Chain A
Amino acid sequence: MPANLRPRPTACTEQPAAALGPEGPFPRVRLRKVLERRWLHYAFLSRDHELGMVANVAWLGPGLEAEDAPPRCTSILLVHKRGEGWCASQFNTQTSTPLWSAFQQPHNLHTPEPLTLTSTSASPAVELQLSRSSRPCTSQSAWFAPDQHLRWQSETGVIARGRWTFKDQTFDNVEAIGYHERVRGYWGWPELGGWVFGFANDPGGASDQPPPTAFVFTLIQPRGPGDTATGSVMVWRNGRLRRHFPRRCVTFAVRGQLQRDKVQQVPALSNLFGVPPMEPIPQQLMISARMGDDWVTYDYHCDAAARVVIPSETSLRPFSVHEVIGPVHVEGCISGEHFTFDTYGIVEFAGGADDC
């Protein structure tokens, strides 16, 4: 059983339980084709902005010829310490089972449950108790290529408390706030093209409450057919998704390039494999969304980046996901209610498998 799938709890009565839908983050169906994918994504920033982490646990179909083989699993953990850079595992981070997910049902708010991720070299590592404080956005999908697709669902305001290990330093009782996401679908990296994705949680407010405001954006840029690029901006207020700005209401702009010595390539083994040069990362990302009288802006400055090199199953060039941490200013107005906050955010600039 894949680690993400929680065994059904022992029935506490003799009466059969009603199963009215999937209990976990993914449907109970076996992955078969190589490009059938799932992953659970975690990203957190400590409230003092000193520490940040990104983790991804992914499953891939074993291939039709593999018959009953289990899905292939890769897991990576990156921890960032301000001023000291990134520390990353290989693609074999050890994970606690079952993996925490806000998309387990039922799943109560403010109920801590564990998530432990440990590099096989013991660093980086996190031992966290995670609590959801908010509600997820609507499940969304992008279709392209023309028979490939990606489905995702995001949840902001996830509270993480626990121990972080960065190189030889250990930090206890760190409180962080972040983001969780489930993704599934069927795609090749060249066809997917690229994406820009990111979030920010207002760090203000009580630690046992959802962030007063949270911001998530997505821009997916498949190479075809036609106009299949999609994107959106979502704004949560006090744990509830309040506005979903569709693609036609959102503009993205970038300026400058991040200095290349601020980008670290991970996992470390990728440096041995003649990986092609990376794409430049913008210095600044500006997103604005407006729908009627509601508007929001996200003014983000890239500060430090890790380039995660992901082998592509169907192209020679790898797919690169640049995990970027930097300060952000968020401002907006929804239903006449003005809000503004400054914090650090995590942004991903991804692509490159289809470049010639």
Chain B
Amino acid sequence: MTSKEQAKELPLEDLALLAGLQRGNDWLRAVLCTLARRGLGFRQQHPARAEQLLAALSRYPYFKAGQFLFDLMEWEDFMLDGEVPPLAPTTLDGPALQRMAGLLNTFRAHLDGAEPMVVPEVDTLLPLFVPEDEDLPALEPSLYLYHEVVLGILCSVRPLLQVQTPPDGKGPSPTD
């Protein structure tokens, strides 16, 4: 049986499976590209600040692991391949950040018994990226997209960090 004949005989359940993967793929691509475009927008507005942030993060173990994962998954090719995906403006928005903060807090509590199992309060009415997303720059093959994605994540979580005050009360104020 040739591969063409096999392809003709793909049952509906397989096609449904592939279609499901395709939907997930499209969503992931839109999320990654949205983050990268936010990061690029931030870099274009604040080039020196972006370089300083990336230089500081380059020693951060999670940054190194993220780069390995990014290369392993070949996400740069994946993001650039084909038509530009639509923006996903709810990427790391207020509700998403709240859930993410809860997840990380839960993880910390599982790792360290002294930590309480609490969900941090996040103001879900924080300014979101929806208005700014409309003017985000387009991605180009010249970009090292891992950096843009990281900057995009920083931009997205910044509102969360601004309302989180450490127990010693010496954290940055919301106006910093």
Contact = CB atoms under 8 A, between A and B. Distances in A.
Interface of A: 12-13, 15, 18-22, 26-33, 35-36, 61, 138-141, 143, 146-149, 151, 184, 186
B147 A31 contact: no
B101 to A, nearest CB: 30
B51 A21 contact: no
A29 B80 contact: yes
Interface in B45-63: 51
How many B residues touch the partner, as a band?
20 to 34
Nearest to A142: B144
18 contacts: A15-B10, A18-B18, A18-B19, A20-B18, A21-B78, A22-B78, A22-B81, A27-B141, A29-B81, A29-B141, A30-B141, A33-B141, A61-B142, A138-B72, A139-B72, A141-B144, A141-B146, A146-B51
A33 B10 contact: no
A13 B8 contact: yes
Contact of B76 (A15, A30, A148, A151): A151
Nearest to A186: B142
Contacts, number: 82
- By secondary structure, the A interface counts as loop
Given A29-B80, A143-B144, A21 B74 contact: yes
A170 to B, nearest CB: 36
A27 B81 contact: yes
A45 to B, nearest CB: 29
Interface core residue of A22, A33, A61 (most chain B CB under 10 Å): A22
A8 to B, nearest CB: 11
B10 A13 contact: yes
B176 interface: no
Contact of A143 (B4, B15, B18, B147): B147
Nearest to A12: B4
Nearest to B147: A143
Contacts of B81: 21-22, 27-29
B24 to A, nearest CB: 9
Interface string B78-104: 111110000000000000000000000
A36 B144 contact: no
A35 B144 CA distance: 13
B132 interface: no
Given A139-B71, A186-B144, 18 more contacts: A12-B8, A13-B8, A15-B10, A20-B21, A21-B78, A22-B78, A27-B78, A27-B141, A28-B82, A29-B81, A29-B82, A36-B141, A36-B142, A139-B77, A140-B71, A141-B76, A141-B144, A143-B144
Contact of B141 (A12, A31, A146, A147): A31
